[in-house]
Amino acid sequence: MELASKYNPTDIESKWYQYWLDNGFFSSKPDGREPYTIVIPPPNVTGVLHMGHMLNNTIQDVLVRRARMHGKNACWVPGTDHASIATEAKVVGKLAAEGIKKTDLTRDEFLGHAWDWTHKHGGIILEQLKKLGASCDWDRTAFTMDEPRSESVLKVFVDLYNKGLIYRGVRMVNWDTKALTALSDEEVIHKEITGKLYYLRYKIEGEDGYAVVATTRPETIMGDTAMCINPNDPKNTHLKGKKVIVPLINRSIPVIEDEYVDIEFGTGCLKVTPAHDVNDYMLGEKYNLQSIDIFNANGTLNEHGAQYAGLDRFDVRKQIEKDLEAVGLLEKTEPYTNKVGFSERTDVVIEPKLSMQWFMKMEELAKPALEAVMNDEIQLYPAKFKNTYRHWMENVKDWCVSRQLWWGHRIPAYFLPQGGFVVGETKEAAYQVALTTVNYPITIDDLRQDEDCLDTWFSSWLWPISVFDGINNPENEEIKYYYPTNDLVTAPEILFFWVARMIIAGYEYKGKMPFKNVYLTGIVRDKLGRKMSKSLGNSPDPLDLIALYGADAVRLGMLLTSPAGNDLPYDDSLCEQGRNFNNKIWNAFRLVKGWEVADIEQPESARMAVKWFDAQLNKTLIEIDDLFSKYRLSEALMAVYKLFWDEFSSWYLEMVKPAYQKPIDRTTYEATLGFFDSLLKVLHPFMPFITEELWQALEERKDGESIMVAMQPKATVVDETLIAEFEYAKEIIAGIRTVRLQKNIPTKEVLSIQIISSETVTQSGSFTKFNSVIAKLGNLETIEIVTDKAAGSISFLVGTTEFAIQIGKLINVEEEIAKMEAEIKYLEGFINSVMIKLGNERFVANAKLEIVENERKKKADAESKIASLKEGIAGLKK
């Protein structure tokens, strides 16, 4: 295979990806091998690839490719999520642009548009993942609203309802006034907002005085049905048993007493609006207060809003402040900062709202899922997230599973003509239940299905089971083989939304965990530390990066700085580093393949080089295995990176490289190709494209062969002594190179080196095994052991051993002595300045001990340098 002079990823990536697809290398079927399974966190069906997806899916692909190369039956299941709120919003927006309102359409008409949108945009993100090199089993692609998944969702809803775990009731919910739906507590983001605290005057009925209430929401006074004071509050004792008049609307409301009221907040008087505050709702339940809902679903005020009916809640807040002031019922306002809930999806302020919804009881279901993580049956990486998980699970609330949307799984509950409802997977099943429930004649057409749909998470919480059809066919071959899955790679922000709920579903429906390990990625941030987002315009398009740098380079760049659970500070220089590494691998390969090979004797330097690199490779393989077992992928990649760049390219290839226009011996050449084979295999999970290209060019391959189904190299016994000895030899070589650089001695000049020893040094010394390598890389004529170094020598230390290089004939002695004398003069001046400091009693007495010691060390180092320079001058004068 002829290799181009430069690596061009564009030519290579599409070629090999198609080759992998054509040969079915991504495909998995149950067999006798150990399975390795990952289910993709399904991206929104209408989404496009962003930097977070890039990081997440690169990590998954690394794990899957590595498992495949360890002989496991690797199965990576792809798919997309129907994303109720996000998709419905996009479809509503598209229709609005065409002059069509959702309210003008029937449910079926709207769903027709939603399916059209999904079919048009639904496959985009999965196609983009292919550009990244994702080795998913594409034949298994699932969608949370396809038939098997939809059937699973409805079956589970009915099952949980029949178990008494799903119920319907009026509760205070988080209402999204833009999406027009209830949200679960986990879909609410709390932000610190600076607003105002309004002090409102409520006239005491039958008296001239006023009770003053401090509130952040004056627009809700039309929903007030009581005022509450703390019975232990002396300053409000005069209000006990009284009634007060709600400002502007003049409704009389009772003053109630409850210790819930914070005496220190505001005036100690609390306005109670049961329909629009969670805590007020609880007081309303306790004291049987009337609930007056003053808001329409879109956040405007309804008929209970009096003169403000039809106005938006925030416009009313501004207007009511003016109106209260005009009639003398606004005592004052103060700046006030508090936490306000926002919709995670639409970013509008959440409105607490009393609403009839469907809920799922979570307390008992959560217990096995909490225990599994706390006892490390399921392991979180990094483990610091265990505390977050525990906090959520110990404080779990019932899950509001209904959404006031059309796009999604419609709740399989059917209302009866004379009140009540029945639940069934289909209308026919519900009708059969109805026949055994009611005592009056009924036809199937009398049943009316609930308009609401289920929370999107109610389908994705079944994902590891439903992708293998484990709900509909619990004993099928695939669920028994692939479940539980191995690893889940996802973001910490959906640890409760998705991860915890999948664990709950796993124990409820399979009696065991859905996955063994959860790798939690960090957030991709820009150079300023900001989260990358479309709104900030600080996120590059991943496909543009792939087009510019190549997929392997982008994968490498993303992984080099992404330790589990920690944020990734992204910069384009990371991709440039990846591209440079690609070029390094490419050029090293072309260098080796360009050598002429001959059946000649193997030089000693090459023999030792092969022996050393074999030991170094085995040591790194053990290190990489250990790092993967701890999910420290970034460090594992860095270990491979250093092995190739530093040890293989910078040292090994230099050690074995034949002289100019000379051949290399066959033994060393074949060993070098063997090392290249191992390195490419270790690199393949991280950089699949370039490694396939070079592996195919390494030797003649048959059609259907691929590095991605080749076995990873296995470590053998590591010769640590040999590695340590060569580390010492490296320092000697570095010392020789430094002398050449400092004294401007060309590399082609042959040198001699002396090892100074007062005792007899035998050839079994810590470095002498590598004398042949030292001689080659240092371009040395002789290496000898002496007790006194020769005249005209420059010496350096490695550890406690002195090495001397004879350079008298290679340099201008007078110029060299002048340079050394100038340096001595500088160092003497430096010592003098340090001595002034150390001679200052105040400095010595007041400075930290380590600072004083550091000054003394500077003095000692400079004195040692002066002694060495004087010795060097004496040697040159001999």
* Structure confidence at residue 523 (pLDDT): 85
Q: Which of 817, 818, 824, 819 is nearest to 862 (CA)?
A: 824
pLDDT digits (tens, 9 = 90+) for 467-491: 999 999 999 999 999 999 999 999 9
Q: Quick check: 14 pLDDT over 80?
A: yes
* Structure confidence at residue 808 (pLDDT): 65
d(CA 760, CA 349): 84
For the chain, what is the radius of gyration of the CA atoms?
38
**Token pair for 38:** 């990952």
Alpha-carbon distance values, 701 to 371, 418, 673 (Å) = 51, 75, 14
* Structure confidence at residue 767 (pLDDT): 60
* Structure confidence at residue 168 (pLDDT): 94
d(CA 857, CA 511): 66
pLDDT digits (tens, 9 = 90+) for 717-736: 999 999 999 999 999 999 99
Q: Say if CB 691 and CB 684 are below 8 A apart.
A: yes
* Structure confidence at residue 792 (pLDDT): 74
* Structure confidence at residue 285 (pLDDT): 87
Out of 271-285, 509-523, 686-700, 747-761, pick the least confident.
747-761
* Structure confidence at residue 758 (pLDDT): 55
Q: Quick check: 526 pLDDT over 90?
A: no
Q: Say if CB 404 and CB 182 are below 8 A apart.
A: yes
Show Cβ contacts of residue 365 under 8 Å, excluding neighbours closer than 6 positions: 165, 504, 508
Alpha-carbon distance values, 483 to 30, 556, 722 (Å) = 11, 31, 45
Strands 226-229 and 269-272, sheet pairing: antiparallel
Neighbours of 445 (CB within 10 A): 9
d(CA 452, CA 454): 7
CA quadruple 502, 503, 509, 512: dihedral positive or negative?
positive
Q: 462-471, 489-498, 524-533, 540-549 — which one is most confidently predicted on average?
A: 462-471
400: left (phi over 0), alpha (psi -120 to 50) or beta: beta
d(CA 661, CA 403): 76
* Structure confidence at residue 117 (pLDDT): 92
* Structure confidence at residue 565 (pLDDT): 61
Strand partners, 663: none
d(CA 142, CA 79): 4
d(CA 296, CA 633): 51
Angle ∠(15,16,22) on CA atoms, nearest 5: 95
Q: How confident is the model over 772-800, as a mean pLDDT?
A: 88
Out of 150-159, 760-769, 781-790, pick the least confident.
760-769
516: left (phi over 0), alpha (psi -120 to 50) or beta: alpha
d(CA 41, CA 43): 6
Neighbours of 703 (CB within 10 A): 7
Out of 350-354, 437-441, 646-650, 773-777, pick the least confident.
350-354
d(CA 525, CA 530): 5
Between 742 and 33, where is the model more confident?
A: 33
Q: Quick check: 764 pLDDT over 50?
A: no
In what helix (H) or strand (E) does residue 202 lie, and over which residues does it extend? Answer: strand 188-204
pLDDT above 90 covers a percentage of the chain that reads: 77
Q: Say if CB 765 and CB 784 are below 8 A apart.
A: no
* Structure confidence at residue 569 (pLDDT): 85
Q: Which of 657, 689, 661 is nearest to 579 (CA)?
A: 689
For residue 16, which amino acid is it? Answer: W
* Structure confidence at residue 1 (pLDDT): 64
Sheet with 793-798: strands ordered across: 780-786, 751-756, 801-806, 793-798
**Token pair for 564:** 């589990």
Alpha-carbon distance values, 585 to 2, 131, 172, 408, 459 (Å) = 16, 21, 61, 49, 45
Q: Say if CB 656 and CB 609 are below 8 A apart.
A: yes
- H helices of 643-714, in order, are 653-656, 666-683, 688-698
Torsion of CA 657, 661, 666, 668, to 10 degrees: -10
* Structure confidence at residue 528 (pLDDT): 83
Q: Quick check: 249 pLDDT over 90?
A: yes
Q: How confident is the model over 177-184, as a mean pLDDT?
A: 89
* Structure confidence at residue 762 (pLDDT): 44
* Structure confidence at residue 763 (pLDDT): 40
Out of 294-308, 519-533, 823-837, pick the least confident.
519-533
Q: Which of 607, 679, 694 is nearest to 643 (CA)?
A: 679
For residue 577, which amino acid is it? Answer: Q
Out of 178-182, 372-376, 427-431, 455-459, pick the least confident.
178-182
User: Over the chain, what is the mean pLDDT?
Assistant: 92
Neighbours of 742 (CB within 10 A): 12
Q: Quick check: 540 pLDDT over 50?
A: yes
* Structure confidence at residue 11 (pLDDT): 85
* Structure confidence at residue 760 (pLDDT): 42
Q: Quick check: 759 pLDDT over 60?
A: no
Helices and strands: H and E segment counts in the chain: 28, 31
Show Cβ contacts of residue 697 under 8 Å, excluding neighbours closer than 6 positions: 1, 3, 589, 593
d(CA 104, CA 99): 10
pLDDT digits (tens, 9 = 90+) for 15-52: 999 999 999 999 999 999 999 999 999 999 888 888 88
Show Cβ contacts of residue 741 under 8 Å, excluding neighbours closer than 6 positions: none
Torsion of CA 522, 526, 527, 529, to 10 degrees: -60
Angle ∠(360,361,363) on CA atoms, nearest 5: 140
**Token pair for 370:** 């909490």
Q: Which of 615, 393, 621 is nearest to 499 (CA)?
A: 393
Q: Say if CB 718 and CB 742 are below 8 A apart.
A: no
Tracing tokens 């199937």 back to the chain, one arrives at 444
For residue 530, which amino acid is it? Answer: R
Q: Print burial letters for 419-441: b (CB count within 10 Å at least 16), e (below 16).
A: eebbbbbeeebbbebbeeebeee
Q: Quick check: 593 pLDDT over 50?
A: yes
Confidence of residue 502 (pLDDT cuts 50, 70, 90): very high
SS3 of residue 691 by DSSP: helix
Confidence of residue 770 (pLDDT cuts 50, 70, 90): very high
SS3 of residue 146 by DSSP: coil
Q: Print burial letters for 545-566: b (CB count within 10 Å at least 16), e (below 16).
A: bbeebbbbbbbbbbbbbbbbbe
Angle between helices 813-838 and 849-877 (to 10 degrees): 160
d(CA 74, CA 72): 6
Confidence of residue 564 (pLDDT cuts 50, 70, 90): low
Q: Which of 581, 562, 488, 550 is nearest to 523 (CA)?
A: 562
* Structure confidence at residue 427 (pLDDT): 97
Q: Which of 391, 389, 363, 634 is nearest to 518 (CA)?
A: 389
